[in-house]
Amino acid sequence: MILPKASCLTPTQLDEVTRIVSEFDCQIQPIAGALRTIYAIVGDERHELMMNRIEGLNYIDRIDRIQSPFKLMDRRCDLSRGRLKIGQVMLGEELLVIAGPCTIDPNNPNYFYETAAAVKEAGAQAIRGGVWKPRTNPYSFQGSNRSLDILMEGARRTGLPVDTEVMDEAQLALALDAGVTILQVGARNALNYSLLRAIGQAIADKPEVSVLLKRSLHMGPINEFISAAEYIAAFGNPNIMLCPRGTTPTLDGYRNHPDESVTPLLKEKTWAAVVVDPSHSVGKAVYVPSASLAAVAYGADGLCIESHVEPQKGIGDDPKQSVTPEELRALIVRARGLWDSMHDAPKAKAA
Amino acid sequence: MILPKASCLTPTQLDEVTRIVSEFDCQIQPIAGALRTIYAIVGDERHELMMNRIEGLNYIDRIDRIQSPFKLMDRRCDLSRGRLKIGQVMLGEELLVIAGPCTIDPNNPNYFYETAAAVKEAGAQAIRGGVWKPRTNPYSFQGSNRSLDILMEGARRTGLPVDTEVMDEAQLALALDAGVTILQVGARNALNYSLLRAIGQAIADKPEVSVLLKRSLHMGPINEFISAAEYIAAFGNPNIMLCPRGTTPTLDGYRNHPDESVTPLLKEKTWAAVVVDPSHSVGKAVYVPSASLAAVAYGADGLCIESHVEPQKGIGDDPKQSVTPEELRALIVRARGLWDSMHDAPKAKAA
Amino acid sequence: MILPKASCLTPTQLDEVTRIVSEFDCQIQPIAGALRTIYAIVGDERHELMMNRIEGLNYIDRIDRIQSPFKLMDRRCDLSRGRLKIGQVMLGEELLVIAGPCTIDPNNPNYFYETAAAVKEAGAQAIRGGVWKPRTNPYSFQGSNRSLDILMEGARRTGLPVDTEVMDEAQLALALDAGVTILQVGARNALNYSLLRAIGQAIADKPEVSVLLKRSLHMGPINEFISAAEYIAAFGNPNIMLCPRGTTPTLDGYRNHPDESVTPLLKEKTWAAVVVDPSHSVGKAVYVPSASLAAVAYGADGLCIESHVEPQKGIGDDPKQSVTPEELRALIVRARGLWDSMHDAPKAKAA
Amino acid sequence: MILPKASCLTPTQLDEVTRIVSEFDCQIQPIAGALRTIYAIVGDERHELMMNRIEGLNYIDRIDRIQSPFKLMDRRCDLSRGRLKIGQVMLGEELLVIAGPCTIDPNNPNYFYETAAAVKEAGAQAIRGGVWKPRTNPYSFQGSNRSLDILMEGARRTGLPVDTEVMDEAQLALALDAGVTILQVGARNALNYSLLRAIGQAIADKPEVSVLLKRSLHMGPINEFISAAEYIAAFGNPNIMLCPRGTTPTLDGYRNHPDESVTPLLKEKTWAAVVVDPSHSVGKAVYVPSASLAAVAYGADGLCIESHVEPQKGIGDDPKQSVTPEELRALIVRARGLWDSMHDAPKAKAA
């Protein structure tokens, strides 16, 4: 990782650096952070001669020689100084809550509009809503392009950023065109590297867009999760939230095996924000408040919670796992109270 | 389950009831609770004629026909009205904290005395200390009877109840003789039904003694855990705390797979107190505070935490997973704050 | 599922049936089997009126009312009468062995040519070779389009069908254009429904193409695995082999947790062939022969094995998990011997 | 591990060696093998001076300095040269099959007698039968001492050795007094070190007695399993069979998660025989033949299979998981055929 003295390299400087690394079969990938642009060396970085020549350039501050399977996502990387802002929330300064229904019902758009308004009122700072849904049964409802308009209308009415899952390049293009600013990658595609790369490319020059990357379904290694995020970041947009959401095998009684406990392990290795999804983890509304609080206890930066004004009328997973906006409000008060007490935040914010 | 109108049956009444059930190859097991004695029918309870005859007796209030694999531990059982007191702490009224070293070092008793005093000062209301230890390696230190005297001396000095693990009947007898009032059953013996029965028998008439029953190592079913407790309760002493302590397979990065999330599932089925052991769960001191808070978030009634005045000097698991008394104090303040906020307890108690 | 009396419906008949189901918001999907074409009703099949009207048509034999999350893959479905042929091997008549290197080295094509020839000589009836590879580390070698030419040259030289993994629509198109006849979907994309659908569409009219669908990484439910295959079959090409390949959490000592034992559970529910990949399961060459034999013991129809003439020179997973062609030959003799003894096949075939 | 030149040390020699190691706080534990007696040093073996002094004695052949958590069970240990004989079967020379009902019904002894005769006729060389049973539900039938007489009568009638589970010291004493020669330790007591030690002590001078040690319920490490066996062997009787029997979490569709695949991992580390229990692993009779064959494929030395002449009349697990003697016979023919082909055994034996 090359760190320039100035906020970024001039075109001439970039040319020179590119020329040097190309002698060693490497390439340069600029990563535009909020504070300054840094430059990843893609290829085998272990050429000491190459490193020394770059380090010797008078406009280079220093080179980070981080030995890590994920050099951009590594917490020792310079990107850790950046900050991620979702709507009005600066991650790390207050607890982020994303809420909304599992799946937008294209035949009943009002459920979404009412839910969006209600979760905002309850304290959510971003709205989630499934336009397209991965379904185990191929003959189940898979979502509808019409729901995308409903999602964006919800965004307009509430003034909040919206989060929706994309499963392929076609959906990705539609979502970005419509103005979605939080792209969700689901557990089933958490290791779909072609999709992650396509997202990374598509948002490389869209700093207003971020990605909520769910953890894969299996009790897999931490490094695999963070490395998946690296696929996105490698194209230059590091706005990534890692999202534990429960794993398989399940804990007898829940939908999945709660895994908010993975949060401190992630934070030890990466600077990325961790936003936990307790709804898919436990899979029943009655357990969501405890699981939310546990996520905060483990250091989560945010929560992604399914909520619906009338859960029984929801399509998708709502009838089982969505909390009502009233339950959401109580949950948020308690979760923010704990978050603030853990971060020595001013009491005023918790109120 | 037979519930008498008075606080207990007279000997004549008990005789009559026993005679009736014996006609149906059943037996009567009295369970002496704090409020009143109830009477379990051991054997096949599904004889309607038997049930009706007992229900017709004028000194019988009613019969609980609970269909459950664990009729005494079932939360619908009358025992749920009882309360468990550990030292000065009434479970459910404030957060119980048991703390102390993994293993008492018989060659350095002062470490235990100092730790016991320090964890009491930090807020613990009971002391743990391993006298005998199950060790994977048969040639590792397995504990020493000498440590039992040290444990009891620590109890005397602090005035707090002490908790130690027993692994067989010989240790059980020694521990009870010495005055241990919290018997711990470890994860490796969590389904050792002969031991559980022996404990149940030994403490049947010792209401001052309680059992901390660890969860087995595997990701097993909830019912199996609660049924193991039923083995103890079936002899009449229902002073049981269920203790999740992490399971296998491990979460990559921790010693085990944190399982405090099992707490709400347990509480839905049983009235028993849940006391979580975050130390064995995560296995590294640095993660213990988060895991403790998460346990409280999930509704735990207490925590069992390894602590040592000089963790590096500890034998057993201490060097890796024990927190210092100072860390314990900070952890307790935060955990009690959360517990109190969840139970609308008076702020004064949190201080 | 609609079964015509003749081998297929005439265009006029198909029109009539389509008209009927469209009244109930359903559609017709023809599935062209080897013996005859059957017609799936896509949508809510539970309209008794619709079913009765179709059943009353004089050119309709009967309607299969299979209640299953996967109506085409269900073993009670008429498709179970079909047969899958890979190269010269009719699945179910002899044990299929697919073998070859993990990843084709574009800089050393001869390794692939020599390996292809050697595994054919050792008894393999199809060749595998990775052109594109999903890699945890985004900066690792991800494969090369040049390898596709090498793969097809290997196919030409050996006269055997070739199997390669595709991870997105671009690779799918390239592979089909080049003439690949076994498309592999890897464990990381096993639930990537957009990709499965794209494959289903792309091969709907290519009965010479089949799919080797790996099991997902997690210890997930059987139905989820078979339902993923339904995404492909729903477009009309049922040439699908289900491929267990080990799951996570790992069995301490292996790369994954061997799961050939899932075979009888799959076969109880679906007619699809099961081809086990022991190489990824155990992850070390020395264990591959035992795991191969165990797969046959559990009823597998085939094996997919990594092999390389010089494993240490392989890129990808070869150095650890590839067997040599000599080891492959011994393994095949033993595995075929067991397969034949279990299927009462003529001894001659085992030779 | 001290290896004498002669088949064992004389009392005088033993005294001298004991005196030397006691200077270093160690003790000597003789292990009487079939070929010769070897002598374990219990305590810290890393005193070079101690080792050198012993090695210098003229009646000492050499000292094995094996660095292993289990020095006796380690496959590099001299004990690996020993052989275990169960009834007429020398382990490693032919496949051992232990068969019989889950639980002996004390009210219907003829079921056991008939089953014992039938499984012998089908090819079993040892008989299993549960006298005492660990049951999740404390109110379920837990076995009966009367069944011990039935078990021994079955042994007398068939002339075969019998295997039964013991769960505590009282049962252990009863079983040994009655003449049981295969003591089974169940999965729930697999890490009950007090019991393992008690067994080790009780059979130290009974070379005709062996132990079938089940694997614990969890997906735990290999070393933990072998170390548990070391607790028994440490007292001098190394007649131990390791018994994988399925783990938790379960494979959806089976009772447990089949784990015969652990066999090669065990054999790489220990010389102990591996006898797989497919009945508890899969938990349904229909899957037992495949699982048995898979166990042999993975290198098992024997099988422990539940069988009952009328499975539906069995108590315990029989109705679900017992095969009939006829099914057992077919299974044994196939399993022996595979075993023999893998061990180049004379065809005659397979007949």
**Predicted confidence pLDDT, tens digits, chain B (351 residues):** 888 999 899 999 999 999 999 999 888 888 776 567 888 887 777 788 899 999 999 999 988 877 777 888 999 888 888 889 999 999 999 999 999 999 999 999 999 999 999 999 999 999 999 999 998 888 777 888 999 999 999 999 999 999 999 999 999 999 999 999 999 999 999 999 999 999 999 999 999 999 999 999 999 999 999 999 999 998 889 999 999 999 999 999 999 999 999 999 999 999 999 999 999 999 999 999 999 999 999 999 999 999 999 999 998 888 999 999 999 999 999 999 999 999 975 544 443
Whether B74 maps to a domain, the answer reads no
D183 plus D329 within the same structural domain? yes
Phi first, then psi: give them for residue D343, nearest 5 degrees. Answer: -110, 10
Residues C89 and C36 in one domain: no
Nearest to C193 among A71, A134, A194 (CB): A134
Which pLDDT does position C244 carry in this prediction?
Answer: 98
- Flag if C218 and A223 touch (Cβ within 8 Å): no
User: Can you tell me the distance from the alpha carbon of A238 to that of A229, in angstroms, rounded to the nearest whole number?
Assistant: 9
Among the partner residues B136, B167, B189, nearest to D227 by beta-carbon distance: B136
Q: What is the pLDDT of residue A348?
A: 42
- Please tell me which chains touch C, using 3 or more CB pairs under 8 Å as the contact test: A, B, D
CB within 8 Å: A253 and B259: no
Tell me, yes or no, whether D110 and D155 share the same domain. Answer: yes
Q: Are residues C134 and C51 in the same domain?
A: no
Pick the residue from chain B with its C-alpha nearest to D44: B139
pLDDT digits (tens, 9 = 90+) for C71-93: 889 998 888 888 899 999 999 99
C93 and C59 belong to one structural domain:
no
**Closest-CA residue in chain A for B286?**
A264
Q: Does residue A263 sit within a domain?
A: yes
Could you tell me which of D241, D249, D225, D318 has the C-alpha nearest to residue D275? Answer: D241
Q: Are residues A18 and A118 in the same domain?
A: no
Does the beta-carbon distance from A265 to B253 stay under 8 Å? yes
Cβ distance of C220 and A248 shorter than 8 Å: yes
The verdict on B211 and B292 lying in the same domain is yes
Write down the H helix ranges in chain B: 11-22, 48-55, 109-122, 146-158, 169-178, 193-202, 222-233, 263-269, 278-282, 288-297, 318-321, 325-342, 347-350
Nearest to D192 among B169, B189, B220 (CB): B189
Instruction: Using an 8 Å CB-CB cutoff, list residues of chain D that contact chain B.
Output: 42-43, 69-71, 134-139, 142, 167-169, 171, 188-189, 191-195, 197-198, 216-220, 223-224, 227, 230-231, 234, 247-249
Per-residue pLDDT tens digits for D219-260: 999 999 999 999 999 888 999 999 999 999 999 999 999 999
- The answer to whether the peptide bond before residue C134 is cis (omega within 30 degrees of 0) is no
Give the best-scoring range by mean pLDDT among B34-38, C168-172, D138-142.
C168-172
| Whole-number pLDDT of residue B348 | 42
Say whether pLDDT at D34 is over 60: no
Name which of A89-93, B73-77, C157-161, D326-330 the model is least confident about. Answer: B73-77
Query: Which of the given ranges, B36-40, C274-278, C340-344, D343-347, has the highest pLDDT on average?
Result: C274-278
User: Can you tell me the mean pLDDT for C259-266?
Assistant: 98
Residues 6+ apart with CB under 8 A from C275: C96, C98, C212, C241, C242, C243, C300, C301, C302, C303, C304
Residue of B277, B290, B341 to mutate when probing chain A, most A C-beta within 10 A: B290
Which residues does D contribute to its contact with C (CB < 8 Å)? Answer: 219-222, 249, 251-254, 257-265, 268, 282, 287, 290-291, 293-294, 296-299, 334, 337-338, 341-342
Token couple for C18 = 């389509």
Closest partner residue to C297 (CB to CB) among D254, D268, D294 is: D294
- What gap in Å lies between CA B200 and CA B195, rounded to an integer? 9
- Contact yes or no for B167 and D192 at CB 8 A: yes
State the pLDDT at residue D167: 97
pLDDT mean over C7-24: 93
- Chains touching A by CB (3 or more pairs below 8 Å): B, C
ipTM reported for the complex, 2 dp: 0.89
Q: Which residues of B touch A291 (CB under 8 A)?
A: 261, 298
Residue ending a domain, choose from A17, A32, A65: A65
Flag if D251 and C258 touch (Cβ within 8 Å).
no
Same domain, C171 and C239: yes
Distance of CA B272 to the CA centre of its chain: 9
B218 and D69: CB-CB below 8 Å?
no
pTM of the model: 0.91
| Residue B119, in any domain of the structure | yes
Tell me how far apart the alpha carbons of residues B244 and B246 are, in angstroms, rounded to a whole number.
6
Would residue C330 count as lying in a domain? yes
Between helices A109-122 and A325-343, what is the axis angle to 10°?
30
Mean pLDDT over residues D304-316, rounded?
Answer: 95
**What pLDDT, on the 0 to 100 scale, is given for residue B221?**
94
For residues D46-70, average pLDDT: 87
User: What's the CATH code of the domain at D246?
Assistant: 3.20.20.70
Q: Is residue B118 part of a domain?
A: yes
Q: Is A292 a residue whose pLDDT tops 80?
A: yes
Instruction: Give CA–CA dist A148/D35, Å, rounded.
Output: 79
Both A13 and A107 in one domain: the answer is no
**Which contiguous run of DSSP H or E holds residue D240?**
strand D240-243
Q: Are residues D298 and C290, on separate chains, in Cβ contact within 8 Å?
A: yes
Question: D56 with D108, same domain?
Answer: no
Q: Which residue has the higher pLDDT, D77 or C69?
A: D77
Same domain flag for A34 and A171: no
Q: Which domain holds residue C12?
A: 2-65
Whether C79 is in a domain gets the answer no
Nearest to residue B50, comparing CAs of B6, B78, B16? B16
Nearest to C201 by CA among A103, A170, A105: A170
Please indicate, yes or no, whether residues A104 and A33 belong to a single structural domain of this protein.
no
Would D133 be classed as within a structural domain? yes
CATH number at residue C27: 3.30.70
CA distance D56 to B281: 48
Which uninterrupted H or E stretch holds C327?
helix C325-343
Q: Which of A65, A96, A119 is the last residue of a domain?
A: A65
Q: Is residue B22 assigned to a domain?
A: yes
Q: How many domains does chain D have?
A: 2
Least Cα distance to D286 among D251, D331, D332, D345 occurs for D331
- Choose among D253, D252, D222: nearest CA to D73: D222
Question: Looking at the partner chain, which of B219, B251, B263 has a beta carbon nearest the beta carbon of A261?
Answer: B251
- Site from B172, B218, B255, B257 to mutate, D interface, most D CB atoms within 10 angstroms: B218
Query: Which residues have CB under 8 Å from C331's CB, separation 6+?
Result: C288, C289, C292, C293, C305, C323
